[in-house]
Structure 1
């Protein structure tokens, strides 16, 4: 009897140890809900495919529920991840940098897409070159957005200033869908806008390309426009799931490269699910030609974009020499995922 009691105690101790020894990286996913955020732009195509093809669900497992939130701009996304409304998702570096420097509680864990924004001038605006933007109004999705950073760099290259009067270039904010309406109604003269909105303006005859995607600064279009980020809390608690999210992103990229025709239809379907309206496959095909889908993350380019935000006054309470974004990027999970592939 005594031997049986000792055996039972040992078994009980081992069970307790197994349940409690997770090292802060629990694999218990029963009743877990993972909140994923992304924007309603074709530049987030790998995320669209990963959702539509079930890559996230397959990777996370049947016990994990996925809830998706679609945002109109990166600023709202960045606020949501910093305040734990979402766990991970896709966003541009501009607003993410600004928020990270305030909260420092989420990280870039993979790239997803470089480039994919175009500069469109309204056809009857009299704008034929960047120099013609003096006295004109240009729309960007939101203050501090990656598109605004690119616009400010473009204007600086041409020696133009951002002003609030007609002596320079006036920048206003409009959600991409609202920008289409504003261009049609001649409320704005031009826009630096992510796809598929740019190609839509061209196809409908409202605007024309002033600066194509592969000439947009920084780095002639080869700059991070869509990144996969995750909250520190999610990484610490569910590191394995964070790695699975990276894998889903990589599968999304691979699928678009290997099955482009199928991808167009799936992206349109996901757009309809996120925004209530799909998009003509012809437009999506044209938009995808303006993307460089990649998992790579260029710290040097991101730092150059942060300097623009600093100069524009979006980064406050910190001196430029204290801008350290090395902690903002954690590619260790990506390295592990690619090593195991």
Structure 2
């Protein structure tokens, strides 16, 4: 029995090592690159890069591209931390949280900034942030970029968050469920990424009371979608990461140059990954309320992370000791920009 047990253990070790062994193409590239995106129009640059074949152009036809669409940043960040995807497009909030836990992936580029709005339900008596006292406000998920922005917005007006009277009350609702909650008068307001604010307005259920360029931090010019890559990919296949950065850059350039054509291509990707498309007017509204950019402001990311620390989403670290410079590696972005 002991001999059989040792043989089974040995087989397990060999199988595990084999599974961890990287499969390469004849040219030494990874046989498969796993890319993570959201089922959201804010990932427009990544959608265009996929639809136009920019990733395949940069990596070569012998590299298989495996795309996984996620519903939220926490799930995608967990997948990055556990090595289930190689490159991801995600918000800085959950990405920072899971980087500080795992330390095995890095920010390599930006993709877009801003894109969220505060929308209030008709009849709720909300015309601005000061009116959010004793109101119930929806956020897409705990600790995500939108909640961080909402906490900053409330802090600017000196409004506390709690269940007590005289405070703002937070509730988690996905953006699609927020629209239903508006109808049922379950919530009074929501801080949501576009196009959900526009959809709520078009449905006659509410109005945008704080537009994207007034949402903190940095008046809307804060990272909402960043590109992250695993340390393993960066160390072994720096050229693959640079190719992804170039594909993202070209996706941004295409949207700027050919917005009308881009709307249809983005919709194709939305249909593929979310199961349903979106009206052109909604895609247009979304892209008009964000800033497509590869730039990443580390200081702004640190300001957002400090809000997460105060909310106890990030534990075991003091705000004054926070340093996200190891999390951000823009050296490959700089090389791509300079044509290297």
TM-score by length of 1: 0.90
- CA RMSD in angstroms, aligned pairs only: 1.6
| CA–CA distance in structure 2, aligned partners of residues 90 and 160 of structure 1 | 32
Aligned to 2:209: 210
SS in 1 for 2:141: coil
Instruction: Determine helix, strand or coil for the equivalent of 2:159.
Output: coil
Measured against aligned partners, the alpha-carbon deviations of 1:246-301 in whole angstroms (never above 9, x if no partner) come to 00000000000000000111111111111001000011111111011011111111
Q: Is the 8 A contact 1:29 1:63 kept in 2?
A: no
Name 1:289's counterpart in structure 2: 288
Report Cα offsets for 1:106-140 as digits up to 9, x if no partner. Answer: 11000110110011111122212211111111111
Equivalence map 1:137-216=2 (5 Å): 137-216=136-215
The answer for the alignment partner of 2:13 in structure 1 is none
In terms of Rg, which structure is larger?
Answer: 1
Q: Is the 8 A contact 1:31 1:63 kept in 2?
A: no
Per the alignment, in what secondary structure is the counterpart of residue 127 of structure 2? coil
Q: Which segments of 5 or more consecutive residues in structure 1 lack a partner in the other structure?
A: 1-24
In the other structure, the counterpart of 1:39 is 38
Change (3 A) 1:293 1:31: closer
Whole-Å separation in 2 of the counterparts to 1:193 and 1:170: 16
- Match for residue 79 of structure 1? 78
CA–CA distance in structure 2, aligned partners of residues 142 and 294 of structure 1: 24
Shift of 1:187: 1.6
Q: Which residue of 2 aligns with 1:70?
A: 69
Number of equivalences: 317
Residue 333 of structure 2 aligns to a residue whose secondary structure is helix
Q: How far apart, CA to CA, are the structure 2 residues paired with 1:66 and 1:185?
A: 42
Residue 179 of structure 2 aligns to a residue whose secondary structure is helix
After TM superposition, give the deviation of residue 166 of structure 1 in Å.
Answer: 3.5
Q: Are the structure 2 counterparts of residues 115 and 31 from structure 1 closer, same or farther at C-alpha, using a change threshold of 3 Å? A: closer
Q: Is the aligned partner of 1:332 residue 2:331?
A: yes
**In structure 2, what is the Cα distance between the partners aligned to 1:259 and 1:308?**
38
Structure 1 Cα separation of the partners of residues 30 and 133 of structure 2:
56
Shift of the alpha carbon at 1:320? 2.1
1:269-280 alignment runs, 5 A limit: 269-280=268-279
Aligned equivalents of 2:332, 2:107: Cα separation in 1: 10
Aligned to 2:52: 53
Distance 1:238 1:187 in 2: 49
Would you say the 8 A contact 2:114–2:220 is kept in 1? yes
The separation in 2 between residues aligned to 1:29 and 1:206, in whole angstroms, is 55
After TM superposition, the structure 1 = structure 2 runs for residues 262-273 of structure 1, keeping only pairs within 5 Å, are: 262-273=261-272
CA-CA distance at 1:28 after TM superposition: 4.0
**Residues 116 and 215 of structure 2 are in contact (CA less than 8 Å); yes or no, is this contact kept in structure 1?**
yes
Alignment partners' CA distance in 1, 2:332 and 2:311: 33
Task: Find the counterpart in structure 1 of residue 4 from structure 2.
Answer: none
Give secondary structure in 2 for the equivalent of 1:340. Answer: coil
Q: 1:240 corresponds to which residue?
A: 239
Distance in 2 (CA, whole Å) between partners of 1:26 and 1:297 is 32
> What is residue 127 of structure 1 aligned with on the other side?
126
Distance 2:292 2:105 in 1: 22
CA distance in 2, matches of 1:205, 1:233: 49
